[in-house]
């Protein structure tokens, strides 16, 4: 099998990367060609994404690829979910996409439930309720009288909008559509009745494509500008979590995953959506994955607590490196009791250590005696939270969960992974840390004939990257 080259564009809410991947019969290598910030714009009090700036950065990354002189098989783009761009009748983007961080959706879900009951919305979509879901963004835009929406000929999610700028072809990729709270998870199409309740015509969304389908080729201008020629752009799992989970190096289907970083997502991969009283009550979400799979998952606060404590300590003149934090945490005595990392008090405090101490006082818990004890409390609490969510998943899963795969930046957190294995009572397998990019690449590689099933994609990743296994310790 000949070696082939692919471009993965991986965009997060704070930064983005253009990655060159080289895939051989038994090899998979990645190199970051271009890294760039993704900064929110505040325009007239509205928080927007500079989509044209992102496009320019992507093109710059493609130029760097063009200078390598290698043949690029395809390009794939993944981003965060929910946010959308509006396309005018002349084919240009109308305005800038609004960000999920904009508070204009506050109170919108409750108003919408007056048109369609909350439980019916969940039964139709299987998506957990969050203020910033695409459904409520569209309602908020209509309430504001958004001219771009009023005159839109198409609505595109962020990865689809960027693919549109590169190719001129408009599509609606399945995995990112699945985050919107207006997709029917059985038909995998927009729910026309639900959108009508929001005052939106479902025909504004273009054809739905699955990961692996070809969107189009670079426009003449982009082909010339990058010196890449008419390279195909492939729909990968456009939602970054979908790409990340596609890269879980699992040996079989009996696993749970934890996409671990500042924020965490824990779930299982299912063949069909799980929408019932249990998932509704627990506010679990059903998101689309590669090959029509469903990610039954729960959002969990991750290292946010530690990161915010570290920022507060830095202001006090206490600079703790991550190796120091690990040593101090391990040296501290077990906390005995834990806090809830998902508590509202920790969402956006001005002083995280103070917020944690206040929470302890209010709930009858001993306050951490020093910074090391604070670190230990955070790690103990995260491990306990992961164990709690895993128990709920074990009650929902149609199979016995044999191990927990930790992917993303948290895969490199040796101490937390050890503590998580012990708290959960099952082995933890950590890696890859660059799961999103690898999932993006492997969907493209499969389209190019270099892999077959999702299981084969995962096998290739398993052979190409190093993982670390943690077994539960006796307590």
What is the percentage of the chain residues whose pLDDT exceeds 90? 96
| Mean pLDDT, residues 372-395 taken together | 98
CA-based torsion, 237, 242, 246, 247: positive or negative: positive
Residue 287 has pLDDT above 80, yes or no: yes
In sequence order, which residues have a C-beta less than 8 Å from that of residue 203 and are 6 or more positions away?
Answer: none
Active site residues: 240
| Mean pLDDT, residues 275-280 taken together | 97
pLDDT on residue 475: 67
pLDDT on residue 118: 98
pLDDT on residue 138: 98
Residue 140 has pLDDT above 80, yes or no: yes
- The CA distance from 57 to 420, in Å, is 38
- Digit-coded pLDDT (tens) for 69-107: 999 999 999 999 999 999 999 999 999 999 998 999 999
Q: In this structure, which topology does domain 4-240 adopt according to CATH? A: Nucleotidyltransferase; domain 5 (3.30.420)
pLDDT on residue 474: 80
Q: Where does 250-431 sit in CATH, by number? A: 3.30.420.40
How long a stretch of residues is the chain? 475
pTM: 0.94
pLDDT on residue 262: 87
| Mean pLDDT, residues 247-267 taken together | 95
Residue 238 tokens read as 């456009």
pLDDT on residue 319: 96
CA dihedral 274, 275, 279, 280 (to 10 degrees): 170
Average pLDDT, the chain: 96
With residue 456 as reference, give the H or E element that holds it.
Answer: helix 454-464
Would you give the DSSP letter of residue 299?
Answer: E
pLDDT on residue 436: 96
- Digit-coded pLDDT (tens) for 420-434: 999 999 999 999 999
Domain boundaries for CATH 3.30.420.40 within the chain: 4-240, 250-431
At residue 116, the 3 state secondary structure works out as: coil
| Mean pLDDT, residues 372-391 taken together | 98
């Amino acid at each position: 099998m000949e070696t082939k080259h692919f471009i993965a564009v991986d965009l997060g809410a704070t930064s983005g990367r253009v990655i060159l991947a080289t895939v051989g019969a038994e090899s998979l290598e990645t190199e970051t060609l271009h890294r760039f910030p993704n900064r929110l714009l505040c325009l007239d009090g509205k928080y927007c994404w500079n989509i044209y700036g992102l496009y320019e950065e992507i093109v710059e990354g493609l130029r760097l690829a063009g200078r390598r002189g290698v043949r690029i098989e395809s390009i794939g783009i993944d981003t965060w979910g929910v946010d959308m761009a509006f396309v005018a009748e002349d084919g240009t983007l109308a305005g800038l996409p609004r960000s999920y961080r904009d508070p204009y959706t506050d109170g919108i879900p409750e108003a919408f439930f007056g048109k369609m009951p909350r439980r019916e919305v969940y039964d139709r979509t299987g998506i957990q309720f969050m203020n910033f879901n695409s459904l409520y963004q569209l309602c908020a835009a209509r309430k504001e009288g958004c001219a771009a929406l009023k005159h839109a000929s198409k609505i595109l999610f962020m990865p689809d909008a960027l693919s549109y700028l590169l190719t001129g072809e408009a599509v609606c990729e399945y995995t990112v559509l699945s985050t919107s709270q207006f997709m029917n998870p059985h038909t995998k199409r927009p729910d026309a009745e639900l959108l009508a309740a929001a005052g939106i015509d479902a025909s504004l969304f273009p054809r739905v494509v699955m990961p692996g389908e070809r969107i189009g080729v670079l426009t003449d201008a982009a082909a010339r500008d990058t010196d890449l020629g008419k390279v195909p752009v492939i729909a990968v799992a456009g939602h970054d979590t979908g790409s990340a989970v596609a890269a879980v190096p699992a040996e079989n289907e009996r696993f749970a995953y934890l996409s671990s970083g500042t924020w965490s997502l824990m779930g299982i991969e299912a063949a069909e959506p799980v929408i019932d009283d249990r998932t509704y009550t627990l506010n679990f979400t059903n998101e689309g994955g590669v090959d029509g799979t469903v990610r039954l998952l729960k959002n969990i606060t991750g290292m946010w607590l530690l990161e915010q404590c570290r920022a507060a300590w830095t202001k006090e003149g206490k600079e703790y490196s991550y190796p120091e934090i690990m040593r101090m945490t391990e040296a501290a005595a077990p906390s005995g009791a834990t806090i809830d990392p998902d508590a509202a008090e920790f969402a956006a405090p001005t002083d995280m250590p103070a917020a944690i101490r206040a929470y302890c006082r209010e709930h009858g818990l001993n306050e951490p005696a020093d910074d090391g004890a604070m670190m230990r409390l955070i790690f103990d609490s995260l491990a306990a939270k992961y164990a709690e969510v895993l128990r709920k998943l074990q009650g929902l899963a149609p199979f016995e969960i044999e191990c927990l795969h930790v992917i993303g930046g948290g895969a490199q957190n040796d101490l937390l992974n050890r503590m998580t294995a012990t708290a959960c009572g099952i082995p933890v397998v950590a890696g890859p840390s660059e799961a999103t990019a690898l999932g993006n690449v492997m969907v493209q590689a499969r389209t190019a004939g270099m892999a077959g099933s999702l299981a084969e994609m995962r096998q290739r990743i398993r052979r190409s990257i190093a993982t670390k296994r943690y077994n539960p310790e006796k307590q």
